[in-house]
Structure 1
Amino acid sequence: MSQHTPKWLSEIDPVEFERALTDDPYPYWARLREEAPVAWVPSMQMWMVTRWREVRAVAMDRKSFHGACDPAHMRLFGENNVLSAEGAVHAEIRSFVDPHLRKNKVSTYVDDLVRPTARRLLESLKSRRKADIVAEYLEPVSVRALGDYLGLRDVPSAQLMRWFHGLGTALVNKGMDEHGNFLAPEAQQHADVIKAEIRATVDPILDRVRRTPDDSGLSHWVNEATPPGQPRSNDFIYPTLFVTILGGMQEPGHGAANTLLGLFSRPDQFEEVRADWSLIELANHEGYRWISPIGVFTRRVMKDTEVGGVLIPEGAIVAGSMASANRDPEQFPDGDVYDLRRPPKSHIAFNMGAHSCAGRYFGSAVQRIALEELFAAFPGLAQDKDADPTVSGWFFRATVGLPVVW
């Protein structure tokens, strides 16, 4: 496989490569798109695909590629989670996850779910005149929205955030040696503790809604079974719940932060959006493209398959860089620039095909409402020029710190 690994990539220290990607993956994605759009990455023991057309092809090809099966993913979530399952099991999972997250259904409950929390948090900030708007508003709104939807209203936001940070650290732990051993096994071990805590907290909730169904997401997951009257087991629920806690709790808040950072970089466009809130959805669409909160998906190759002229063997792991594809100049000219006026095109921030994100409409609505309430509360909102924003990550990429004033 060495012939498909650029010399600079084969020589870079794995720890240094991980650190460099975390700081800023885009120069590396651009170089791979140009030199080796389908490349074997020794430090991760997987193939990295970086151009739009190949990333899209992998995402859409169910016959050649199995759902997410990389070692970190399977070690963290276990078998039969929504991202890795295929066939009848995948259909069964989506049958209870999807119905209450469809666009028309989300519109019936999302305002009442999100706006009270957003307004309460913003009211507590008003006298301050400045804040890190990610840590003190956008993340808490995002976490609370999904937590309350699922039925975790009594679980403190700080605990929910600790859960998704702990799971996230394990999932991005892709570094492996040639023997298939994790270079940082402590991340997975810490996630085991987090998962045990989640089960201890959620088991009583699942048992309660199994006895007395309500309108929470977890109640629907347990009770809307086929055939009727045979509620799903806790063990069947948990792999997908772990996925949902990790992806769904962080993505809307981080997506809103990315959009806000993009708008701050284009003051004229920021003023345009603040004056016309109907543009917020367009602004968020561009934000998802510009910095995709979930930057990579993985697949297992089911049979020897050619991707971009490179034959990838059966059993190999392929990582499709959505973050790279969403800046591919062939699809998005000048893609490194946030531009509200960019001609509208589909992006891959929510994946594509059978494993596209079930929560994309819920997450987008939470993000829109969070920004609407922020602009309403603080008409003079501006980036704090005395403190730098912090953008970090590659598997998950987000503006994790954004000081603002008003």
Structure 2
Amino acid sequence: MTVLDSGTAPILTDDPFGTEVLNDPAPFHQRLRDAGRIAYLPQYDLFAMGRYADVHAALTDWQTFQSAAGVGLSNFRTEKPWRPPSLLLEADPPHHDAPRHVLEEILNPRRLRSLRDQWFADAETLVDELLDRTELDGAHDIADVFPLRVFPDALGLRPDGRENLLPYGDHAFNAFGPANELVHKGLARIGDVSAWIGAQCEREALAEVGFGADIWAAADRGDITHAMAPLIVRSLLTAGVDTTVHGLSSVLHAFAEQPDQWERLRAQPSLARVAFDEAVRLESPVQTFFRTTTCDVDVDGVVVPDGHKVLLVLASANRDPRRWTDPDRFDLSRDPSGHVGFGMGIHQCVGQHVARLEAEAVLTAMARRIERIELAGTAVRHHNNTLRGWRSVPLRITPA
């Protein structure tokens, strides 16, 4: 029996990893939501969900929609992954439980308070540097700079080699999609970059104080095995920078396009975290993740066979008008909590509190000292099979 014999799924010919969709995914997302609760994409022999309720339900039902077979197009049941799978992103209970618990303890909001003053001071220093200029690039000069300034320090990385972090993360997220030109462009460097990343995960490469040292201490206590420790550090190096970078570039672009919302933030800086979450909802730095069915699953009369890939389109769910009023608008009066930009359920991003603190520090410092930000040119998209953000956001700033 072929996949198409197993139900009456609407068929969409869109390529979610093609240039047209990566440039402007909204039309595809609209077609996906309008098609029904689930659709079939024959180009990749997979099913896709784009409505909020269905994406949310699949993310929280790890027993039926597993991550252990890979959260990319590759099916680990039948294909060998290009690197050892993540113990968090690409594992399910019980194997997922101990690594997740360790990181939840290390990255919880209470523990992060110790970093708050330093990160806010670092943000003020960054704004000092920005105020010497009237025009800058929000992607290169802010979104790329701040996470690479504070997060590796908190992790305990040495200063040299940090330029490898963004290329590694970019390739890792590209590899969740098909082996297209976006993946091929990273192949030449990925061997050397992966070797550097792997070396930084070892105990001797890390500072005595930091997230990395805390992970190795958990291994010493027996909370995880010593073999797990470097893989958990690698998870932070993979997902701890790129997603925050793209979230920051998205919120800066949104403010430049909607000056009334910037004025609102300046009047009420406590909205900084709301602004970041609203940008994550609107732009979804992580656009998609895959799951694999553990049994035959009936979705509104469409049977998804056991062991089949399902594309969960987080970005479509985050703009589903069934869930959000005026979903295409960046609006600080909205409560964006409940968005699936950080995932949902047991695999929800364990580092989301870190990203929010970084964004809060930057936006608070900017709102206090910059009266206006506006686009000074045409913003250019960064293309990635999984991530969405900006390669360049030319900005003109007016000091307060």
C-alpha distance 72-135 of structure 1, shift in aligned 2 (>3 A): farther
* Structure 2: 5+ residue stretches without partners: none
Matched, 1:232 2:231: no
TM-score if structure 1 supplies the norm length? Answer: 0.85
**Whole-angstrom CA distance in 1 between matches of 2:56 and 2:145:** 33
Root mean square deviation, CA, Å: 2.8
What is the letter of the counterpart of residue 27 of structure 2?
P
Deviation at 1:272, TM superposition (A): 1.2
User: Structure 1 residues 307, 189: CA separation in 2 closer, same or farther (over 3 Å shift)?
Assistant: farther
Q: Tell me, yes or no, if structure 1 residue 196 matches structure 2 residue 181.
A: no
- Between 1:333-342 and 1:66-75, the stretch displaced more is 66-75
Counterpart of 2:267 (choices 265, 275, 283) is: 275
Is this contact kept in 2: 1:82–1:93, CA < 8 A?
Answer: yes
Counterpart among 201, 208, 214 of residue 220 in structure 1: 214
Note closer, same or farther for the CA distance 1:242–1:40 as it changes in structure 2 (3 Å cut): farther
Deviations 1:113-162 (Å, cap 9, x if unpaired)? x2343333333333222100211122211123221111114235433333
The structure-2 alpha-carbon separation of the partners of 1:148 and 1:53, relative to structure 1 and needing over 3 Å to count, comes to: same
Alignment of 1:337-376 (within 5 A): 337-342=329-334, 345-376=337-368
Q: Which residue of 1 aligns with 2:61?
A: 61
**Per-residue deviation, residues 240-281 of structure 1 (Å, max 9, x unmatched):** 444322322022232122222223333222211112201212
Mapping of residues 4-43 of structure 1, within 5 Å? 6=10, 9-10=12-13, 18-43=18-43
- Are 2:8 and 2:301, in contact at CA under 8 Å, matched by a contact in 1? no
Q: Distance in 2 between matches of 1:366 and 1:243?
A: 18
Partner Cα distance (2:317, 2:101) in 1:
30
Matched residue type, 2:371: G
3-state DSSP class of the match of 2:160? coil
Which secondary structure state, in structure 1, belongs to the residue aligned with residue 226 of structure 2? Answer: coil
Say if 1:344 and 1:253 are closer, same or farther in 2 by CA, change over 3 A.
closer
Q: State the 1:5 CA deviation.
A: 6.3
Using the size of structure 2 for normalisation, the TM-score is 0.86
Q: Is the 8 A contact 2:73 2:290 kept in 1?
A: no
Higher helix share: 1
State whether structure 2 residue 110 is matched by structure 1 residue 111.
no
Whether the aligned pair in 2 keeps the contact of 1:143 and 1:250 (CA below 8 Å) is: no
Residue aligning to 1:152:
157
Q: Which segments of 5 or more consecutive residues in structure 1 lack a partner in the other structure?
A: 177-181
- Aligned-pair distance for 1:348? 0.9
Which deviates the most, 19-28 or 71-80? Answer: 71-80
CA distance in 2 between counterparts of 1:183 and 1:391 reads 14
Q: How does 1:3-402 map to 2 (within 5 A)?
A: 6=10, 9-10=12-13, 18-67=18-67, 69=70, 70-72=72-74, 75-112=81-118, 114-171=119-176, 173-174=177-178, 187=186, 190-203=189-202, 206-207=203-204, 214-225=208-219, 227-228=221-222, 232-233=226-227, 236-342=228-334, 345-377=337-369, 379-385=370-376, 387-393=377-383, 395-402=386-393
Q: Deviations over 1:172-227 (max 9, x none)?
A: x3258xxxxx9955645743442122123443xx1366xxx832111111121375
Structure 1 counterpart SS, 2:371:
coil
The number of residues matched between the two structures is 386
The structure-2 alpha-carbon separation of the partners of 1:20 and 1:93, relative to structure 1 and needing over 3 Å to count, comes to same
Secondary structure, counterpart of 2:241 in structure 1: helix
Alpha-carbon displacement from aligned partner over 1:86-112 (angstroms, at most 9, x marks no partner): 223211111222112111211222331
Change in 2 beyond 3 A, CA 1:231/1:54: closer
Deviations 1:358-382 (A, max 9, x none): 01111111111111122334x2332
